[in-house]
Amino acid sequence: MAKIIHNPLVLSSSRSAEKSESCCKLSGPTSFMSSKFLGNKLLSTNSATSPATRRSAAVVAVSSDVVKEKKLKSSSSLANLLITKEEGLVLYEDMILGRAFEDMCAQMYYRGKMFGFVHLYNGQEAVSTGFIKLLKQEDCVVSTYRDHVHALSKGVPARQVMSELFGKTTGCCRGQGGSMHMFSKEHNVLGGFAFIGEGIPVATGAAFTSKYKREVLKEDCDEVTLAFFGDGTCNNGQFFECLNMAALWKLPIVFVVENNLWAIGMSHLRSTSDPQIWKKGPAFGMPGVHVDGMDVLKVREVAQEAIGRARRGEGPTLVECETYRFRGHSLADPDELRDPAEKAHYATRDPITSLKKYLFENNLANEAELKAIDKKIDEIIEDSVEFADESPVPARNQLLENVFADPRGFGIGPDGKYRCEDPKFTQGTAQV
Amino acid sequence: MEASFGVSSAAAANAVNSPALSPPSLPFIRSEARPISWRVDKSRKAGKITTKAVAAQAENPASAASKPGHEVLLFEALREGLEEEMERDPRVCIFGEDVGHYGGSYKVSKGLADKYGDLRVLDTPIAENSFTGMAVGAAMTGLRPVVEGMNMGFLLLAFNQISDNCGMLHYTSGGQFTIPTVIRGPGGVGRQLGAEHSQRLESYFQSIPGIQMVACSTPYNAKGLMKAAIRSENPVVLFEHVLLYNLKERIPDEEYVVSLEEAEMVRPGEHVTILTYSRMRYHVMQAAKTLVNKGYDPEVIDIRSLKPFDLYTIGNSIKKTHKVLIVEECMRTGGIGASLTAAINENFNDYLDAPIVCLSSQDVPTPYAGTLEEWTVVQPGQIVTAVEQLCR
């Protein structure tokens, strides 16, 4: 059950040097993992820099509260609600879309319609929906290989994503990218990256462009970029390098950590000296926030503040979302390593179930309305599969087409003509 | 060092590919005078080029004043190119270590930060992989960044971004995103800089699909290649050489670019085709002096485009001389020379009277000691010997 958070992010660069201790009640790794003991708390940092050079030093982190609800008032007044009905239905629909799509991917994979490495997002929908539904079309999203749902949330049609997965020419990347490389120029999805960490600099660059447009080109630009990545990535050099640069230049970016505790079979706790990822933000001079990633409303509230900060030019934020993937790392992962008790625990915190409950308990929607959405999504998914099935596979002529934006890059052949002028080039059979 | 240059009359101008801005027509000077259109008639003549096998005599002030153009050092030519492009297109920006306030460790970007500000000439922290990736992200979202590797060797840390993102993203995104970045910096063997500062990254990058690689060797082609690389929609790696930055040459006052895909005819000849690039061009030309005195007539081509190879210019030469000598600074194994040998064998085998000879650097980490360093790279004496043997 979502709990209303007060003062999710309080950040002020003019705050004087307050040294507050962390009143964290963590008692050790197991408790972190199950989040049983995380209560609402203020976690702030002590900046070691002199006041003169301090950026936004004081940080308040939001924590998750997953203690089983006591008697939470279901008759909270409308003023207390975090969302309107319309917003609630949008969030619900987006999460259902993500879930249903990924489930269909699993089916299609085992039926031999899609291949290679496919990484599904089941269980993490609250993060994608919570963040991306707050964005404008011009804002950018950068993801990792677990990118289907980020693309869908951003607005890439299910047909295009499914087609891409089937390797058809109607896919968003003409079938050339695949599961791990979802791109959309129209919806500003900048990938889809197979190597963890390599998307973060790209996101930083997109944020840099936003700042450049504003300050150099004098355009009216407040676009923000969201970079999504996992807990494993947070031990990677590119992560730290980009935290530094983003904070240094106050880039309009939000670093969203989808901490699902596992990097394939490597537990976050076995690979990280300090597993509390949010803490790494303040080390670089940006706020670090921890949020319950299984609760879309909490994520959304934090996202609102972080995105707002970026839009106002106040710089980056590091948001650690504690979340969980219900399936294995990829469809090739037998997922035998994780403790069934852990899986069961997080299954009870299914973000879709939680949102549903919230909508019902606050009279924002009824069963029929949600069922209608379920049905609508089912139809969209069915349609996307049909579309993908019937779409053509790429023809040979597509082979050489997009290697270079300017195909003169293939050079000049022995006959003096550019290779791309060879008629066989468009057939995909030219010697290059 | 000698500066030799091939300048042709300005060919018919055709607006260079440029998305949003429509530049005025400008002279697009090529190594041989031919029309800009992609159709190339096969009867190109080599006769219109003005080349010099040896350096121009030191000018005396009286004659200098009457000559067209202006004298620059190579690093100044690079800067001119950069500055002109930054002036022309506000989206062009520079990322690199010490490019801003310091002016660039080889002074290529000197004064640009003062003129264009700290955001357009961005002093980055020491994080090659990340700032190269940042350049990719910026390029995808509309900017045209020029990334400087303080030494090309440092870009080994950026290999992930150069290979996966620069090279591949246009393709993996199905053509949706272009990456018009330029990655440039000094590489090659210097004067006792030690192994790690003496690397030849063109060997390592050449297999990356989706990038182009060019190497400049004179102030003239340095400026031209810089401008062409910045204007190109493709990611281009521009290799400069640590020892060539102070080369002096007189370059045109008027604006020009050179072709990224074409080789440069340095010295036409009949007996043997010598293919080279970057610093080795000067060792070749030094050897050429000796060879000419001995009665040989070598044809020297600066291949300039390391990826892709200009097989037309190269092929025409081979069809004339039937003998090929490649002189490069890469190591024997897996260098540009190795690839060029393969390409020539594949395409022009019938025209060869002798096996291709490829002179490369030794497969050793470049030693610090001066004597050892000298023996790792190809010296003019070896080139002379190789030609003599080839032309027996």
Cβ-Cβ contacts under 8 Å, A208 against chain B: 134, 137-138, 143
Task: Report the C-alpha dihedral over residues B100, B106, B109, B110, rounded to 10 degrees.
Answer: 80
Cβ-Cβ contacts under 8 Å, B134 against chain A: 201-202, 204-205, 208, 242, 245
pLDDT at A427: 84
Nearest residue on chain B to A246, alpha-carbon basis: B134
| Residue B250 scores a pLDDT above 90 | yes
In contact, B337 and B328? CB cutoff 8 Å: yes
Q: How far is the alpha carbon of A272 from chain B, nearest alpha carbon, in Å?
A: 21
Give B305-314 pLDDT, tens digit per residue. Answer: 999 999 999 9
A205 at B interface, C-beta within 8 A: yes
Instruction: Out of A202, A409, A417, name the one closest to residue B308 (CB).
Output: A409
Max CA pair span of chain B? 60
Over range B364-384, report the average pLDDT: 97
CB pairs under 8 A between A and B: 208
Contact B171 A191 (CB under 8 A): no
pLDDT at B305: 98
Q: How far is the alpha carbon of B389 from chain A, nearest alpha carbon, in Å?
A: 27
Contact B173 A205 (CB under 8 A): no
Which two tokens mark A283?
A: 């080390």
pLDDT at A51: 38
Percentages (nearest 5) of helix, strand, coil residues in chain B: 35, 20, 45
The per-residue pLDDT of chain B, averaged, comes to 88
pLDDT at B65: 62
- Among residues B223, B217, B276, the alpha carbon closest in space to that of B247 is found at B217
Contact A210 B141 (CB under 8 A): yes
Instruction: Out of B134, B160, B178, name the one closest to residue A208 (CB).
Output: B134
Alpha-carbon distances, residue A46 vs A93, A181, A247 (angstroms): 41, 40, 17
pLDDT confidence tier of residue B226, bands split at 50, 70 and 90: very high
Contact A181 B173 (CB under 8 A): yes
B100 at A interface, C-beta within 8 A: no
Contacts of B64 (CB under 8 A, 6+ apart): B71
> Which segments of B179-290 are extended strands (E)?
182-187, 212-215, 236-241, 248-251, 264-267, 272-276
In contact, A409 and A403? CB cutoff 8 Å: yes
Rg of chain B, C-alpha, whole Å: 20
pLDDT at B11: 34
Exactly one of B97, B128, B202, B329 is catalytic; name it: B128
Q: Hey, which residues does B72 pair with through a beta bridge?
A: B249
Q: For residue B57, is it left (φ>0), alpha (ψ between -120 and 50) or beta?
A: beta
Pure H helices in A143-279: 148-154, 158-166, 199-215, 237-248, 268-271
A304 CB neighbour count, 10 Å cutoff: 16
| Residue B3 scores a pLDDT above 90 | no
In contact, B319 and B275? CB cutoff 8 Å: no
Using alpha carbons only, give the angle B238, B243, B244 rounded to the nearest 5 degrees: 60
In contact, A278 and A237? CB cutoff 8 Å: no
Over range B110-116, report the average pLDDT: 97
Contact A412 B44 (CB under 8 A): no
Q: How far is the alpha carbon of B383 from chain A, nearest alpha carbon, in Å?
A: 26
Q: Which of B173, B259, B304, B314 to mutate to test the interface with A (most CBs of A within 10 A)?
A: B173
Q: How far is the alpha carbon of A253 from chain B, nearest alpha carbon, in Å?
A: 13
pLDDT at A81: 80
Cα of B167 vs its chain's centroid, Å: 19
Helices and strands (DSSP H and E) totals, chain B: 13, 14
Q: How far is the alpha carbon of A150 from chain B, nearest alpha carbon, in Å?
A: 16
Contact A238 B130 (CB under 8 A): yes
Please classify residue B87 by burial: count the beta carbons closer than 10 Å to its beta carbon, then call 0-12 exposed, 13-18 middle and 19+ buried. exposed
In contact, B266 and B304? CB cutoff 8 Å: no
- Among residues B276, B281, B285, the alpha carbon closest in space to that of B305 is found at B276
Give B74-83 pLDDT, tens digit per residue. Answer: 999 999 999 9
Which uninterrupted H or E stretch holds A46?
Answer: none
Give B324-363 pLDDT, tens digit per residue. Answer: 999 999 999 999 999 999 999 999 999 999 999 999 999 9
The identity of residue B172, as a single letter, is T
Rg of chain A, C-alpha, whole Å: 23
B123 at A interface, C-beta within 8 A: no
Cα of B339 vs its chain's centroid, Å: 17
* Overall residue count recorded for chain A in this entry: 432
Cβ-Cβ contacts under 8 Å, A209 against chain B: 137-138, 141-143
B163 at A interface, C-beta within 8 A: no
pLDDT confidence tier of residue B56, bands split at 50, 70 and 90: very low
Q: What is the pLDDT along chain A (432 residues), one digit of tens a residue?
A: 344 334 334 333 333 333 333 333 333 333 333 333 333 333 333 334 343 333 333 344 444 443 333 334 444 455 568 899 999 999 999 999 999 999 999 999 999 999 999 999 999 999 999 999 999 999 999 999 999 999 999 999 999 999 999 999 999 999 999 999 999 999 999 989 999 999 999 999 999 999 999 999 999 999 999 999 999 999 999 999 999 999 999 999 999 999 999 999 999 999 999 999 999 999 999 999 999 999 999 999 999 999 999 999 999 999 999 999 999 999 999 999 999 999 999 999 999 999 999 999 999 999 999 999 999 999 999 999 999 999 999 999 899 999 999 999 999 999 999 999 998 888 888 877
Nearest residue on chain A to B43, alpha-carbon basis: A416
Give B172-203 pLDDT, tens digit per residue. Answer: 999 999 999 999 999 999 999 999 999 999 99
Give A223-239 pLDDT, tens digit per residue. Answer: 999 999 999 999 999 99
Contact B141 A190 (CB under 8 A): yes
Contact B164 A210 (CB under 8 A): no
B197 is catalytic: yes
Phi/psi at A154 (nearest 5 deg)?
Answer: -75, -15
Contacts of A247 (CB under 8 A, 6+ apart): A55, A284, A285, A286, A315, A316
Contact B312 A190 (CB under 8 A): no
Contact B311 A142 (CB under 8 A): no
Percentages (nearest 5) of helix, strand, coil residues in chain A: 40, 10, 50
Residues A412 and A407: their CA atoms lie apart, in Å, by: 11
pLDDT at A431: 76
pLDDT at B189: 97
Exactly one of B197, B241, B271, B283 is catalytic; name it: B197
Peptide bond before residue B308 is cis, with ω within 30 degrees of 0: yes
B31 at A interface, C-beta within 8 A: no
In contact, A175 and A168? CB cutoff 8 Å: yes
Locate tokens 């949102």: which residue?
A355
Cβ-Cβ contacts under 8 Å, A242 against chain B: 130, 134
Q: How far is the alpha carbon of A147 from chain B, nearest alpha carbon, in Å?
A: 14
B384 CB neighbour count, 10 Å cutoff: 19
Instruction: Out of A201, A212, A403, name the one closest to residue B161 (CB).
Output: A201
A38 CB neighbour count, 10 Å cutoff: 20
Q: Hey, which residues does A318 pair with through a beta bridge?
A: A255, A288
Peptide bond before residue A116 is cis, with ω within 30 degrees of 0: no
pLDDT at A376: 98
Range of lowest pLDDT (A94-108, A217-231, B55-69, B267-281): B55-69
pLDDT at B209: 96
Share of chain B above pLDDT 70, in %: 83
In contact, A366 and A155? CB cutoff 8 Å: no
Collapsing DSSP to helix, strand or coil, A258 comes out as: strand
ipTM above 0.95, yes or no: no
